Amino acid sequence: ALRQSITPKAQKDKQRSWNHVQPQASYKVAVLGASGGIGQPLALLIKMSPLVSSLHLYDIANVKGVAADLSHCNTPAQVFDFTGASELANSLKGVDVVVIPAGVPRKPGMTRDDLFNVNANIVKGLVEAVADNCPDAFIHIISNPINSTVPIAAEVLKQKGVYDPKKLFGLTTLDVVRANTFVAREKNLRLIDVDVPVIGGHAGITILPLLSKTRPSIAFTDEEVQELTARIQNAGTEVVEAKAGAGSATLSMAYASARFVESSLRALDGDADVYECSYVQSDLTELPFFASRVKLGRKGVEALISSDLNGLTEYEQKSLEALKPELKASIERGIAYAQKQA
């Protein structure tokens, strides 16, 4: 029942701009890690959304200045600041969507998995607070390694007795944004027309763009497929190396996260044609968490789009099988961590 094919109408509607939204909508969004590299530009983009009435900014430091600065923008959302553990609960009360970009980013030479030891604990603590204060909210996890932090979040929510798998999302939107950009450039297409589903997870070979499912339908040579796939899989590392020790992608991630927030709010607002790729609890493969296209509705994930996995090319099928052991290990690492801490 959780599976549904994407319709051509849905495909068209996906291209619609922010402008169609109803001006009377008013949702509360919290950003945890709001004074960080992602948090600040993300807060700015959310402040621009006509769907948001309250923007709650939480961090362990430096959030007052960010909130004061943002609050002067003449858009409807009211901005509230919350600093430190004693203000975390209040930052979450009544919130519809919680976005979590709190945690340390990579430096050159590191894998996302190298962030596990620090970020697992940060995500665990923040999701416990979400469970206690806004258990019905959509939860967007950005903190890496998301292949493990999302399973950690699920375990924490289960331990608190409030796990709703339809409302827990690992952010893979940046992989789609990158795939769309690189394919449009390579094939000289209008960016607005290009949509590449990206499945699997969000690290190295677990990121699998399904180029054969690109819309509009387009032919790639074997060489193009291999080059584009490698570029999409390594795009995070490309940014980490260019920033040379000053962190990882922040601006493109804020852009991607703002898109996912907007899609979530449109879904909450009753828009029946909202589709995004996300890393969620899944039964599309034997892995308990898997990124695929999902249909979003008022209650979160309404359907997993299974049709993208039909008729894969030989290259995609092999890549899918090759990513499973790594993704499985990352999921198990997250679950084991959360269970050990319980």
Instruction: Give the residue numbers marked as catalytic.
Output: 202
Q: Which helix (H) or strand (E) holds 10?
A: helix 8-13
CB atoms within 10 A of CB 7: 11
- Which lies closer to ligand NAD via its Cβ, residue 106 or residue 220? 106
- Which lies closer to ligand LMR via its Cβ, residue 176 or residue 267? 176
Q: CA-CA distance, 139 to 166, in Å (whole number)? A: 10
Q: Which helix (H) or strand (E) holds 339?
A: helix 314-341
Q: CA-CA distance, 327 to 108, in Å (whole number)? A: 22
Q: HEC states along 184-242?
A: HHHHCCCHHHCECCEEECCCHHHEEECHHHCECCCCCCHHHHHHHHHHHHCHHHHHHHH
> Which spans of this chain sit near ligand NAD (rule: CB under 6 A)?
32-33, 35-39, 59-61, 101-106, 115, 119, 122, 125-126, 142-144, 146, 171, 174, 202, 247-250, 253
Joined tokens for residue 22: 């109803």
- Which lies closer to ligand LMR via its Cβ, residue 248 or residue 319? 248
Interaction of residue 174 with ligand LMR, rule CB under 6 A: yes
| Residue 237: CB minimum distance to ligand LMR, A | 6
- Which lies closer to ligand NAD via its Cβ, residue 119 or residue 281? 119
- Please, which of residues 66-105 interact with ligand LMR by CB under 6 A? 105
| Residue 23: CB minimum distance to ligand NAD, A | 31
Q: Which of 56, 106, 140, 259 binds ligand LMR (CB under 6 A)?
A: 106
Interaction of residue 259 with ligand LMR, rule CB under 6 A: no
- Which lies closer to ligand NAD via its Cβ, residue 212 or residue 263? 263
Q: CA-CA distance, 195 to 71, in Å (whole number)? A: 34
Q: HEC states along 270-330?
A: CCCCEEEEEEEECCCCCCCEEEEEEEEECCEEEEECHHHHCCCCHHHHHHHHHHHHHHHHH
- Out of ligand NAD, ligand LMR, none, what residue 122 binds, judged by CB under 5 to 8 A for its kind, is ligand NAD
Residue nearest to ligand LMR (CB): 236
- Out of ligand NAD, ligand LMR, none, what residue 240 binds, judged by CB under 5 to 8 A for its kind, is ligand LMR
Joined tokens for residue 59: 């961090």
Residues that bind ligand LMR (CB under 6 A): 105-106, 112, 144, 174, 236-237, 239-240, 248-249
